[in-house]
Amino acid sequence: MPRSLEQVLADVPLLHGLSTDEIALLAGCARNVRFGAKDFLFREDGAADVFYVVRQGLVALELYVPGRGPVTIETIEAGEVLGWSWLFPPYRWHFDARALSVVRATTFDAACLREKCDADPALGYRLMGRFAQVMIERLQATRLRLLDVYGNGDRR
Amino acid sequence: MATATVADARGLGAATPVPFQVVTRRRDTADTWTLELEPASGTGASVGPGQFMMVYAFGIGEVPVSVSGLPERGGGPIGLTVRAVGRVTEAICASEPGTVLGLRGPFGNVWPVDSARRGDVVVMAGGIGLAPLRSVVLRVLEERRTFGEVSLLYGARTPADLLYTDQLADWGRELAVEVTVDTAGADWPGRVGLVTKLLGPARFRPAQTTAFVCGPEIMMRFAARALLERGLPPERIQLSMERHMDCGIGLCGHCQLGPTLICRDGPVYSYAALSALLEVREL
C-alpha cells in the first residue's frame, strides 16, 4: 500500500521531532519526484525555488571549472537535504546538482514554504534550526577536506 | 599467525637487514606500488596483521613500511605497499623484480583481529592507511563466517588515489565496501565527502563491534569521535599510529608519543589508551 506524503516526510531525518500538524503543513508544499541517471536537478545560477530531500539514489553537487570540466564538490544521498539557496535572496543556485543514479526525492516549493514559515514563526524557527545544523555539518566537513589530509606526509 | 621466512625481530634481523628479493611489483596509483618480496635466504619468523618492516634500499636509506600482504601459512612472499614521497621510498618503488632490498623485522604489535570474532567489524581507512588494514580484511575473509557484519569504509583524495581497486570489488562480495573521495571529476560515479560520513548507513551493533582505523592522524581522531558517537566503546576502537621511526626497536626515541614508543609498544593502540595523548598538542 503506497505511503502518504505525510508518512514519507515523518521518516525524513531533517523533520524528526516536528508535530503531525507541522508535517501536514509542510506536506502541502511538497511532492515526490524522480530523476533519471545524469539528469540535472538544478543548474548553477538557476532559480532556487525548491529544495529536495533525497529518498533514494546519489546526487553530485558540481561546479564547472574552465579547463578542468565539472568538479564534484560533494555527493548527497538518501536521507539528506539538497539545496539551501532557496532560503536567502537572490534565490539562485550556486552549483549544479546532477543525479548519479536514478534518484527519488521529495521536493518542496520554496515560495510556499517561506509563506508558511512567515505565517508561523515558530515553525520557521524550528525549520531554520534544522537547516543550520545541516549547513554546519557540511561546513565542518568541507573545512576538514580543505586540509588535504591524504596529501604526502613523511618525505623519506 | 602466518609463518614468514624473515629474521625474527628479537634476533639478529632486528638490527641487521636481511636480503630480500623483489618477486613482483604492481603499480597501484601514480605514486604507490605494491611489492612482493621473498628472502634471498632466510630464517623463519612470524608476521602478523598490523606489523611493519624496516626496508632498506641499499646505499640510499631505510624506512618503516607496514605489511600489506601476509605470507601464506607455511611461507610465501611478504606484501609491502609503498608510496613514493622521498628518495628512499622512490628507490623502493622503482625496484624491479630481482632487485634485492634489506628487511628488518617484523616489528610492532598486531591488530587484535581474533578478539573481534563473533562480533561486527568496521574497518575505516584513509589514503594509504588501507595498506596496513589490507591484512585485516584478508584475515577476516579467510574465516568470514566467524565474524558478523563487516564494513570496509575507505576514503581517498581522488578516484585515481584509490588503492587495490580490483580487490575492492572482490571484497565487496563478502563485505560491505563503501568508498568516498575528497574530490572528483564528473566521470566518478561514487561518493564525494568525508570517510566518517560512510558510518551513517553502515550496519553494525555498536556494543559488539570492533573498529580498525588507519589513516592520517587527524582523520583517525575524527573517525574515533564519530565511532564513539555511534556507541562503540573506546577500548574497541583500534588505531594504528605513525611517527618518524628510525630504529624500529625502541632505541632511538624518534617515535616517542608521551610515555610510549610506537615502534615498540604500538603501532596499534586502542582509543581508550591513546585518546588523552592525542589531545596533547606538544606530542
Confidence of residue B86 (pLDDT cuts 50, 70, 90): very high
Confidence of residue B11 (pLDDT cuts 50, 70, 90): very low
pLDDT higher than threshold 70 for residue A154: no
Cell (9 digits) for A45: 545560477
- pLDDT in the model for residue A113: 93
- Which residues are paired to B260 by β-bridges? B257
* From A68, A145, A156, residue closest to B182, measured CB to CB: A145
d(CA B156, CA B131): 12
Residue A119 at interface with chain B, using a CB cutoff of 8 Å: no
Contact across the interface for B127 and A141, Cβ inside 8 Å: no
- pLDDT in the model for residue A156: 67
* From A69, A100, A153, residue closest to B216, measured CB to CB: A153
Number of Cβ pairs closer than 8 Å across A and B? 88
Name residues whose C-beta falls within 8 Å of residue A68's C-beta, 6 or more positions apart in sequence.
B185
Contact across the interface for B192 and A58, Cβ inside 8 Å: no
Contact across the interface for A156 and B218, Cβ inside 8 Å: no
Which chain A residues are within 8 Å of B127, Cβ to Cβ?
149-150
Contact across the interface for B194 and A150, Cβ inside 8 Å: no
- pLDDT in the model for residue B8: 46
Contact across the interface for B86 and A155, Cβ inside 8 Å: yes
User: Is the distance from CB of B71 to CB of B77 less than 8 angstroms?
Assistant: yes
Q: Tell me which of B180, B192, B213 to substitute to probe the interface with A (most A C-beta atoms closer than 10 Å).
A: B192
* From B89, B186, B191, residue closest to A69, measured CB to CB: B186
Put simply, the chain B residues between 68 and 97 with a CB less than 8 A from any chain A CB are 83, 85-89
pLDDT tens figures, A32-53: 999 999 999 999 999 999 999 9
Mean pLDDT along residues B129-134: 95
Q: Tell me which of B92, B182, B245 to substitute to probe the interface with A (most A C-beta atoms closer than 10 Å).
A: B182
- Name residue B274's amino acid: L
Name residues whose C-beta falls within 8 Å of residue B16's C-beta, 6 or more positions apart in sequence.
B7, B104
* From B61, B193, B242, residue closest to A74, measured CB to CB: B193
pLDDT tens figures, B212-257: 999 998 899 999 999 999 999 999 999 998 878 888 887 888 888 8
Q: Which residue has the cell 584509490?
A: B162
pLDDT tens figures, B176-209: 999 999 999 989 999 999 999 999 889 999 999 9
User: Is the distance from CB of A74 to CB of A61 less than 8 angstroms?
Assistant: yes
